[in-house]
Amino acid sequence: MPRRRQAVTIKHVAADAGVSLQTVSRVINNEPNVRPEMAERVRGSINRLGYVPLIAAQRMGGSKSRLILALNDRDRTIAGWQNREGTDWVDQMLLGGMLTCGRHGYRLILELVDTHSDHIERELLGAIGALRPDGVILTPPHSQDPVILDLLERHGISIARIGSLTPGPGFSLIMGDEDAARMATDHLIALGHRRIGLIAGATDYELSGWRVTGWRAALAEAGLADDLLAPGNFDYASGRAAANSLLAAADPPTAIIASSDQMAIATLEYARERGLRVPEDLSIISFDDTPVARFASPPLTAVVQPIAAVATLAVERIIAEQAQDDLPTEPVYVAADLAVRGSTAPPPRR
């Protein structure tokens, strides 16, 4: 039987370079208190021996783990995977987060957590104990969950909270959902629409309320009624039910804004079943701008959420917090954009 090759450890690197284990650990973690010539000698040994730093080595002497943990909603993420509908939110978060982590010598790890589980604290403690991350990125609705926030704060972990302004530990990053809803509504008003409906998002997402507020503000500014509001849960089924409710109104909308691409697609298909043409009879605007919105027929006008940019800023802030404590506490605002496509047009003449 061939002999198994012995793994190269930090001890081998230290012996080859003629330095202490702590010095090797400092070089691995890019810490500044190592003389340049000594750091170069350690890196030479690492390359020559083919050593791959392990988390355990990076934690020697109280060093940081150089790991950042991203938490996303389990049920919605798994449902998207199982239904093969895509999880563009996760993809974009990983894109921005992983690339930024890589530039700084960090690693990003994704974990799925069920906010409504009775075992959430046990689940999270298991992940923290195994990984000991330097920081955690929380997405809605985790970013406003008091159990998660309290647990992370007690463990002294940096917290990046996307899509929440609820008072609590960590720092907030928002994507301008209220302004985005206003922008979408203003676009329809400029086209001449006077009956504009909104399919809201899940109520346990703080940003769902912001979108309702932005929609109402734009309508009020134009002197229009805001009576066409239907509840939704970001998924196809709730979008279809909401579209049915809105289009069955005595004075139905000539345009509908849906708070997710899945709900917008449901609205598009339901409208066609009723014999309505999009955009000639009904204009539709979506939130998120995942591939399904761009490949729909017609392609959906959509609010483009800067998820990758927000994840990038979240990682950069977490890394900065490892070096200093006096960072600004104001929420970080990243504006969304509106991609105008074939699903919006002037309303039909009545």
Q: Write the pLDDT tens digit of every residue in 48-72.
A: 887 766 554 455 445 577 899 998 8
Whole-number Cα distances in Å, 11 to 25, 43, 45, 129, 298: 10, 14, 11, 25, 62
Yes or no: say if 131 and 65 are a contact pair by the CB < 8 Å rule. yes
pLDDT reported for residue 65 = 77
What are the b/e assignments for 140-163, b being 16+ CB within 10 Å? bbbbbbeebbebbeeeebbbbbbb
- What's the pTM? 0.79
Query: Tens digit of pLDDT for each residue in 78-91?
Result: 877 777 766 677 88
Q: How confident is the model at residue 159 (pLDDT cuts 50, 70, 90)?
A: very high
Whole-number Cα distances in Å, 263 to 18, 168, 259, 289: 62, 31, 7, 12
From the CA atom positions of the chain, what is the Rg in Å? 25
> Which tokens in the block code for residue 59?
């934690």
> Which tokens in the block code for residue 327?
């960072």
Pick the CATH number of 67-175+306-336 from 3.40.50.2300, 3.40.640.10, 3.30.70.20, 3.40.50.720: 3.40.50.2300
**Positions of CATH 3.40.50.2300 in the chain:** 67-175+306-336, 177-304
Q: How far apart are CA 132 and CA 142, in angstroms?
A: 19
Yes or no: say if 41 and 20 are a contact pair by the CB < 8 Å rule. no
Tokens 């081998």 map to which residue? 12
Average confidence (pLDDT) over 313-317: 93
Pick the CATH number of 10-62 from 3.30.360.10, 3.30.70.20, 1.10.260.40, 1.10.3720.10: 1.10.260.40
Is pLDDT of 3 > 50?
no
Which position has the higher pLDDT, 350 or 186? 186
On the question of a cis peptide bond just before residue 146, with omega within 30 degrees of 0, the verdict is no
Tokens 């284990």 map to which residue? 21
pLDDT reported for residue 5 = 47
Yes or no: say if 226 and 214 are a contact pair by the CB < 8 Å rule. no
State the average pLDDT for the chain: 87
Q: How confident is the model at residue 105 (pLDDT cuts 50, 70, 90)?
A: confident
Q: How confident is the model at residue 24 (pLDDT cuts 50, 70, 90)?
A: confident
**Positions of CATH 1.10.260.40 in the chain:** 10-62
CATH class of 177-304: alpha beta
Q: Spell out the alpha helix ranges (H) of the chain.
A: 10-17, 21-28, 36-49, 55-58, 74-82, 88-103, 120-131, 146-154, 177-190, 206-221, 236-247, 261-273, 291-294, 307-321
Which position has the higher pLDDT, 29 or 75? 75
